[in-house]
């Protein structure tokens, strides 16, 4: 089971802030996971937008990395507080 976190507007689009999913065996990179989740939640490519950053186990990843062994994937729209 992989924990997926949807932040900000992504949480509104998926209508959930987090979920635990059984990822099919052939989904083993970030990009593949995004496509799969886009379809699963009818997100119209929202996760694939270049502004969305990804964290694997709370570390930012900049390329299409493997998700093998990952516990938690976070999808982050543009941030900003204050």
Partner 1 sequence: MIIVSNTPFDAGERLNAFMEASQNAGAIASFIGRVRGEGGDTKSLYLESYADVTEQGIEDATKRAYARWPLTDILIIHRIGTLHAGEEIVLVATASEHRRAAFEACDFLMDYLKTEAIFWKKEITKSGSTWVEPRTQDYTDNKRWS
Helices (H), 1-82: 9-14, 30-40
Q: Which is nearer to partner 1, 25 or 51 (CB)?
A: 51
Contact 32, 65 (CB under 8 A): no
What distance in Å separates the CA atoms of residue 9 and residue 34, rounded to the nearest whole number? Answer: 16
Binding mask 19-58 for partner 1 (x = CB under 8 A): ------------------------------------x--x
Residue 1 binds partner 1, judged by CB under 8 A = no
Selected range binding partner 1 among 4-12, 21-29, 32-40, 42-50, rule: CB under 8 A: 4-12
Choose one: 1-9, 23-31, 33-41, 63-71; the region binding partner 1 (CB under 8 A): 1-9
> Among 33, 1, 39, which Cα is nearest to 20's?
1
């Amino acid at each position: 089971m992989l924990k997926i976190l949807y932040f900000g507007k992504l949480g509104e689009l998926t209508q959930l802030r987090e979920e635990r999913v059984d990822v099919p065996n052939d989904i083993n990179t970030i990009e593949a996971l995004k496509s799969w989740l886009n379809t699963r939640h009818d997100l119209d490519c929202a996760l694939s937008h270049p502004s969305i950053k990804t964290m694997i186990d709370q570390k930012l990843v900049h390329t299409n990395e493997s998700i093998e062994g990952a516990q938690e994937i976070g999808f982050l729209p543009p941030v900003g507080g204050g």
